[in-house]
Amino acid sequence: MMKKAMVLLMLLGVAGLFSGCELDDGQNFHFTTLSIVDVTLPESFELNKTYDIEVTYVRPDACTFFEGFEVTRTGQTDRDVVVIGSVFTDEQACAQVIQEVSATFEFQVIYSGEYHFRFFSGRDTNDNANFLEFTVPVVE
């Protein structure tokens, strides 16, 4: 359900960018990816258990707000994780305060072996994506 809501929000955001729509309160916004700076993972997983994964990300200013996580399955046990934020574009009301914020998502272990995670940590000077990478074994 959360994933469907996120997709709907993203589609509305993209439609707003192309049509110039404004929110009811007159604020314009767009979606963005936020840089992850730290992740708390267990040393191992147990099969068929659910874990809370804590992620610390950078909120670059007072106009950027956490919207959720996008967890993409890139292989049977490979996951790419991105923090999605929304940015209000009313620059007059936007204080430039960099803040590290933590949020969690639930992760259910349904495969044995090892899980490989890549958490989006920003872009380098050549605009290439950087990731924090972790491997967590599944014990039985």
**Quick one: DSSP state of residue 111?**
S
Q: Which residue carries 């305060």 as its tokens?
A: 97
d(CA 13, CA 41): 31
d(CA 99, CA 121): 15
Report residue 45 as tokens: 């997983």
What is the value of pTM for the model shown?
A: 0.77
pLDDT digits (tens, 9 = 90+) for 55-102: 999 999 988 999 999 999 999 999 999 999 999 876 666 778 889 999
Going along the chain from its start, the domains and CATH numbers come out as 2-7+31-139 (2.60.40)
